[in-house]
Amino acid sequence: MNEGPDTEVDDTAVRTGGEREALPDAHAERERRLYSTIISSTPDLVYVFSLDYRFLFANEALLRMWGRTLEDSIGKRLLDVGYEPWHAEMHEREIDQIIATREPVRGEVMFPHAELGPRLYDYIFVPVLGPDGAVEAIAGTTRDVTEMRQSEQHQAEAWAAEAEARQAAEEAVRVRDEFLSVASHELRNPVAAVRGAVQFLQRMRAADALSEERLGIYLEHLETSSRHLVRLTDDLLDLARLQHGRLPMRFETEDVASLVRRVASDARWEGHQVRLELPEAPVEAVVDSTRLTQVIENLLDNAVKFSAAGSVVTVRVASAADGVLMDIKDEGIGLGPGATDEIFDPFRRASNASAAQGLGLGLSIARQIVEEHGGRLRAESPGEGMGTTMHVWLPWRPVQEEGA
Amino acid sequence: MRKTRVLVVEDDPAVSFILVDGLGFEGFEVLHAVDGLQALDLLPWPPDLILLDLDLPRLDGRGFRRAQLETPQRDIPIIVLSGAQLDSVADDLKAVAVIRKPFAIEELVATITAAAERA
């Protein structure tokens, strides 16, 4: 064992001990030059510890990192050459472990380079074994992996960003596919009714079994189904136009309160109690009355669709300093947390609305129309089962967007 | 000869009317349910065949089929009639046939007749 302070540079420690005497001097000298060149020119840090934690050897790269000379470093412990106490302690315990186990230790650690500042180092300590198999010194090499780790991290970040983008794209495709499947399903019912009705009518007429009364009922169903088809088709067309930002608007001065009155009087809402809270004076704003009618219809339709028959739907119109306020409040299924934005996505509906009929485009079309006026449409709900209020704000006259 | 009794399970009012009236005209006895729960209630008046839509309120077509297989009327064959993509439905639901909306009447009538004869 090599005990006690050892202040000499003992390079035999890195060789296998027994062969030294066997080598001819010239050969040994040549080998020494070879190793010395390799060790002094490598950018990696190369060093040897004695069993009592003192540096027996340090190559040029290590001395440069420390900013020290060889004479000033050999025989010194880690603490003496400027390592912080936790760091010196860590390596000395690793040396103890290697002596006990004769197994190498590998790790990664930050250290302030004298010229380059804080760097990340990957190090490995290995036991140097004597002829008797006992550990006689600990040799170490350390590599600056700062750039490698940074580029690995950049790569990982790039991959993560790419994966996220791909996931978002896949999700968008999935949501759209789902919408297309719902849309196709929704279109197939009225088409089936029309086609079925026409075929049965033909067969009945051929069998001379078509009474006036029966023809009347079939025609009624044909009318209802074709109107339904027109509505679905209009919604799909609006969606396509809105997605390309091309919904032509015709603005003129209108009384918003009387638009509300007209829409609310439609027989479609008879199953609910529609209450109006309208100011007595007209609420005149510059709007596209056809499109605003569509907004009121869609919002009422939504309120009615998601609340029990006979429940109250309240429509309130008021003048504010900067425009018209319109609230449509129902006592329906309400919205869960996070759903107040989702319901305006054309390809989604809130999770508690999945069983509803229709394409579910009404709200996104309504929001788009309101925004074409320079206004805002948002949903508010105290929670599922607690009703929903749609808040519309329209400026007195449409705010022209840039380039519009 | 007794008329073949068909239970139509369909929630769309127009499609329902046309199936009930049209199949009646074609010589079938037709029962109608607007959802899976109503259809289960009608099983004690056993139809020879069930024409089943999948997308239904309260209890959908798949739920109805699962429940039906637990009843004494489990052997009544079903024909799925739906607007949805139906690739694996026939196997999943052990349906004797699958017809996609919109349907051709001749095919519908022929399928019902063949299935009722086999049952």
Express each pLDDT in B33-82 by its tens digit: 999 999 999 999 999 999 999 888 889 899 999 999 999 999 999 999 98
CB atoms within 10 A of CB A272: 20
Kindly report the nearest CA distance between residue B40 and chain A, in angstroms: 20
* Sign of the torsion formed by the C-alpha atoms of A10, A15, A17 and A23: negative
Which one of A185, A204, A214 has the shortest CB-CB distance to B83?
A185
Contact list in B for residue A353 (CB cut-off 8 A) is: none
In A211-233, which positions are buried (b, 16+ CB within 10 angstroms) versus exposed (e)? eeeeeeebeebbebbeebbeebe
Residue B2 in this model has a pLDDT that exceeds 90: no
* Sign of the torsion formed by the C-alpha atoms of A298, A345, A341 and A335: positive
Angle of helix A289-305 relative to helix A362-372, nearest 10 degrees?
Answer: 150
> Which has more pLDDT, B118 or A121?
A121
Express each pLDDT in A43-82 by its tens digit: 999 999 999 999 999 999 999 999 999 999 999 999 999 9
Contact list in A for residue B107 (CB cut-off 8 A) is: none
Q: Where does A222-346 show beta strands of DSSP type E?
A: 252-255, 273-277, 284-287, 312-320, 323-329
Q: Pairing mode, if any, of strands B29-33 and A105-113? A: unpaired
- Tell whether B66 is within 8 A of chain A (Cβ): no
Express each pLDDT in A283-296 by its tens digit: 999 999 989 999 99
User: Nearest Cα to A249, choosing from A347, A394, A384?
Assistant: A394
Distance of CA A307 to the CA centre of its chain: 33
> Which has more pLDDT, A96 or A244?
A96
Burial class (CB in 10 A: 0-12, 13-18, 19+), A316: middle
Express each pLDDT in A182-218 by its tens digit: 788 788 889 999 999 999 999 999 998 889 999 999 9
Cβ of A189 and B26 within 8 Å? no
Mutate to test the interface with B, among A200, A220, A227, A357 (most CBs of B within 10 A): A200
The mean predicted confidence, pLDDT, of chain B is 90
The mean predicted confidence, pLDDT, of chain A is 87
Q: Pairing mode, if any, of strands A323-329 and A312-320? A: antiparallel
Residue B16 in this model has a pLDDT that exceeds 80: yes
**For A185, which residue in chain B has the nearest alpha carbon?**
B83
Mutate to test the interface with A, among B23, B101, B103, B109 (most CBs of A within 10 A): B101
In the beta sheet, which residues pair with residue A120?
A110
Report pLDDT for A231: 85
Counting one residue from A and one from B, how many pairs have CB atoms under 8 Å apart?
73
Mean pLDDT of A157-168: 93
Kindly report the nearest CA distance between residue A187 and chain B, in angstroms: 8
